[in-house]
Amino acid sequence: MNHDSICDEDLIAYAMGEQCNGSTERIAAHIVACADCAATVQRLVTIRQVCITDDSIAPPPETRVRAYGMFRRTLRLINEEWMAAQCAVGSAA
Ligand SMILES: [Zn+2]
């Protein structure tokens, strides 16, 4: 399967339910035909679900800030206000 038209950021945004620069349909069609990308999306969805539902261990605020910095550099598609809000929630806890 040709992955040239699909980048990691596309798969991450798709798994997070974000708009993918207007290419949601293109990514959906790709993962139907590509087992590798479908597996990647499934892993990302699983990770997202764990992050949303597992509040048993809250990372320290500095870990959230560091993660925010890492993701901000690599994931331009994710809404920065949402990410900042996640860090604010962590530092308030
Ligand atoms: Zn693929």
Residue 30, pLDDT score? 92
The answer to whether residues 31 and 44 belong to one domain is yes
Instruction: Examine the domain organization and report whether 12 and 43 are in the same domain.
Output: yes
The predicted model scores a pTM of: 0.57
Under 8 Å between Cβ of 44 and 12: yes
Our count of domains for the chain comes to: 2
d(CA 16, CA 10) in angstroms, rounded, equals: 10
Q: Number of C-alpha atoms within 13 angstroms, CB side, residue 56?
A: 2
Are 39 and 62 found together in one domain? Answer: no
- Taking the centre of ligand 1 as the mean of its atom positions, its distance from the CA of residue 35, in whole angstroms, is 7
The dihedral built from the CA positions of residue 12, 17, 21 and 25, taken in this order, carries a sign that is: positive
Quick check: 61 pLDDT over 80?
A: yes
Q: Are 48 and 64 in a shared domain?
A: no
Q: How far is the CA of 31 from the centre of ligand 1 (A)?
A: 6
Residues 84, 70 share a domain: yes
Segments forming the whole domain that contains residue 68 = 57-93
Cα 92 to averaged position of ligand 1 atoms, centre (Å): 39
Let me know whether 29 and 15 are in one domain: yes
Q: What confidence score (pLDDT) does residue 6 get? A: 85
Sign of CA dihedral 52, 55, 61, 63: negative
